[in-house]
Chain A
Amino acid sequence: MLSTTAIKSKPQRRFKREWLTSYLFLLPALSFFIVFVAYPMLHGIYISFFNYNLTNFEFIGFDNYKTLFQDKNFHQSVINTVVLVLVAVPIVIVFSLFVGMTIYKKHELFRSLFRGIFYLPAVTSVVSVTVVWNWIYHPNFGILNYLTGLVGMKPIFWLGDPNTALMAITAILITTSVGQPIILYVAALGNIPTSYIEAAQLDRANSWHIFTKVIWPMLMPTNLYVIVITTINTFQCFSLIQLLTSGGPIYKTSTVMYSVYEQAFSFGNFGLASAMGVLLAIIIGMISIIQFKFLGSDVEY
């Protein structure tokens, strides 16, 4: 990639005044980026090789990583994170595609209304969302147990029961995740030329065939983008957990991101927390690379 800039050597390669202006335009953003993003990223990798807490700063090689590979609670957090991704991502895709398909041909006002409704939990502060769900899920005063009680179910301690806590959180996570995909799907569906769908209808294709053979392939770039952003966002799930369960009961809702927080800011193990962060970044980085590979071959709308 980088070599192409070198090959493209233009006749005159001396410094131009024009470049200076460009560099000055770039400088403020670049300085902030280097100080607050690039440097911490590299520094994070560096301190992951140290026993770094309030009293120590000692090089220990890969020991933090070894610790993580043996840490049962960390394993549980990884499993929880993967479960969260495997459950939430497909539901978010199907949900937002359904909403997108249902509203994209409708009047602009109608589209705005429903796009707005489903984007609502995403614009609302996560604190407001958790405060109200905490109440909805409450074993005694919560409306959910009242409703399930009407159909004869026993009251459940939704956020406190190891069997239901993670799913209760997943449900909230889904409501906060569908807003953006819906907007993207509505835009992508609107870009499909109507002539394609009409042609398929004239060929007596039924709606299912039109969807699988015409619409779905044309949505591929959007699908991939939505899958990747939803996966990455789910991997980072933190606030819901910190606010609702603090990772409990017995680490059943702890995620990798929550473990990073707990290690660093409750136990003061910055080195170990950084090692977790590095592992998480590697996983997410790989997902992003897969995304760029797929999106490299631009599918035309």
Chain B
Amino acid sequence: MKTAAHSNSPGNQSFIMKKIRKSISISSVLSMLLLIMLSVIFIFPFYWIVTGAFKIQVVATQIPPQWFPKDIVFDNWVTLFKNPVGRWTFNSFFIAVSEMVLICLVSTTAGFVLAKKEFPGRKLVFTALVAAMALPKQVILVPLFTLLAKLGWINTYKGLILPAVGWPFGVFLMKQFSQTIPTEILEAAKIDGCSDVRSFITIALPLLKPAIGALAIFTFMTSWNDYFSQLIITRSTNMMTLPLGIATMQGEYRTDYGVMMAGAALASLPMLTIFILFQKAFTQGITLGAVK
């Protein structure tokens, strides 16, 4: 990043600048209006979920619609909790947290040595990881399914958790972050007789903390929202994750939109909370994952 080196000299150009500002301000008002309109379209589905969750069916399906709910009722939530949503929520959390911990562990060490150490095969490993990452995760679902079936891991927690740990995105992200650690510090530690493992723990890890945070959040989100692999690996109602469980409820409750909205609200609530709390980490993860 370069900083603006020269300061512009105003005075003789001020007339032009004013004119530019004026034309910019008109177009910027228009774009602002458009931006707000688009935002409304984006927010509306969420508004509809939240309000719908508290409307009884007759009100929810009435046309013209009730834009602002008049009576807030909890019937939908009572109906929703007649399904094993507690178990589904537990499954979702258990799977997401396990994946998060495992991915952070294996990616941090691997990303660090790929960025900071010289050893034979380093380039080969990195090329293989990047090449695999260029392909979509979903094209391996069929052979992955047959592998899990052979292992007897269908409809088990390990079948739902462990395959996700193999995905190299975390390693790639941690390599990107590790490159920002100054090599001089690591070399100085080495001269002082610090072992590789110790310098990793005492020097690299503290510097990588924000990166690990970003990776943790990303992994949690990917796992929570990973509908496809959960769909093919899960068999019984008890092993379903929350989104999957809500999706299967659609068959039973069809046009009982109130219940479905309560389910939708519950399924997206944890991610929304995390997103609002950690928006910075999301932004950082996305931008750093993008630069080559």
Q: How far is the CA of A243 from the CA of B129 in the complex (A)?
A: 32
Pick the contact of B139: A2, A44, A298 (CB < 8 A).
A44
Q: A184-B290, A288-B134 are in contact. List 11 more A-B contacts (CB 8 A).
A: A26-B113, A28-B109, A33-B129, A118-B42, A125-B225, A125-B246, A132-B264, A146-B64, A202-B16, A236-B138, A260-B141
Q: Are B35 and A183 in contact (CB under 8 A)?
A: no
Q: Which residues in B have their C-beta under 8 angstroms from that of A124? A: 46, 225, 268, 271-272
Most buried by B among A26, A112, A121: A26
Closest 3 CB pairs of A and B: A36-B166, A29-B110, A288-B134
Find chain A residues with CB under 8 A from B45 CB.
121, 129, 132-133, 136, 175
Closest chain B CB from A52 CB (angstroms)? 8
Of the candidates A119, A140, A278, which one forms a contact with B275 in the assembled complex, judged by CB atoms under 8 Å apart?
A119
A26 near B140 (CB under 8 angstroms)?
no
Q: When the two chains form their complex, are residues B243 and A125 in contact, meaning their CB atoms are under 8 A apart?
A: yes
B 1-17 binary contact with A (CB < 8 Å = 1; else 0)? 11111101000010011
Given contacts A99-B35, A114-B35, A116-B276, contact A239 B48 (CB under 8 A): no
- Interface stretch, picked from A16-24, A58-66, A78-86, is A16-24
29 A–B pairs (Cβ distance < 8 Å), ordered by A = A21-B197, A28-B109, A29-B106, A32-B106, A36-B144, A36-B147, A36-B163, A36-B165, A37-B168, A41-B143, A102-B34, A103-B35, A114-B39, A115-B283, A126-B227, A128-B243, A128-B263, A128-B267, A131-B250, A138-B255, A143-B65, A183-B286, A187-B287, A195-B5, A198-B4, A261-B228, A270-B146, A284-B135, A298-B292
B43 touches A277 (CB 8 A): no
Contacts of B242 in A (CB 8 A): 125
Bound form: Cα–Cα A120–B225 in Å:
13
Contact B16 A121 (CB under 8 A): no
Within 8 Å of chain B (Cβ to Cβ): is A201?
yes
Residue pair B227, A47 in contact (C-beta under 8 Å): no
Chain B CB within 8 A of A5 CB: yes
Contact call A102/B243, Cβ cutoff below 8 A: no
Shortest CB-to-CB span from B44 to chain A, Å, is 8
- Are A30 and B125 touching (Cβ within 8 A)? yes
Query: Min CB distance, A35 to chain B, in Å?
Result: 6
Number of interface residues, chain A, beta carbon within 8 A: 107
Taking CB atoms, residues of chain B closer than 8 Å to A146 are 63-65
Distance of B93 from chain A, by nearest CB (Å)? 13
Closest to A272 in B: B142
Please measure, in the bound complex, the distance between the C-alpha atom of A28 and the C-alpha atom of B272, giving whole angstroms.
32
User: How many pairs of A and B residues are in contact by the CB < 8 Å rule?
Assistant: 308
Contact, CB under 8 Å: B106 / A201: no
A250 on interface, CB distance cutoff 8 Å: no
Binding site for A on B (CB under 8 A): 1-6, 8, 13, 16-17, 20, 23-24, 27-28, 31-32, 34-35, 38-39, 41-43, 45-46, 48-49, 52, 60-61, 63-65, 105-107, 109-110, 112-114, 117, 119-120, 122-125, 127-129, 132, 134-136, 138-147, 162-168, 170-171, 196-197, 200, 221, 224-225, 227-228, 231-232, 242-244, 246-247, 250, 255, 257, 260-261, 263-265, 267-268, 271-272, 274-276, 279, 282-283, 286-287, 290, 292
Q: Does A49 contact B (CB under 8 A)?
A: no
A121 and B42 form a contact (CB under 8 A): yes
Query: From residue B216, how far is it (CB to closest CB) to chain A in Å?
Result: 15
Q: Are A43 and B143 in contact, CB atoms less than 8 angstroms apart?
A: yes
| A67 to B: closest C-beta gap in Å | 16
Residues of B within 8 A of A235 (CB): 136
- A contacts with B: majority SS: helix
Q: Cβ of A132: which chain B residues have Cβ within 8 Å of it? A: 45-46, 48-49, 52, 261, 264
Answer whether residue A127 sits at the interface, using C-beta atoms and an 8 A cutoff: yes
CA distance A127 to B269 in the complex (A): 12
Select A141's contact among B6, B27, B257, beta carbons within 8 Å. Answer: B257
Report yes or no: B8 in contact with A123, Cβ–Cβ below 8 A: no
Question: When the two chains form their complex, are residues B139 and A25 in contact, meaning their CB atoms are under 8 A apart?
Answer: no
Given contacts A30-B110, A277-B142, contact A38 B105 (CB under 8 A): no
Measured CA separation A232–B246 after assembly (Å) = 27
Contact B125 A26 (CB under 8 A): yes
Once the chains are docked, how many angstroms separate the CA of A264 from the CA of B17?
63
The residues of B that contact A41 with a CB separation of less than 8 Å are 132, 135, 139-140, 143
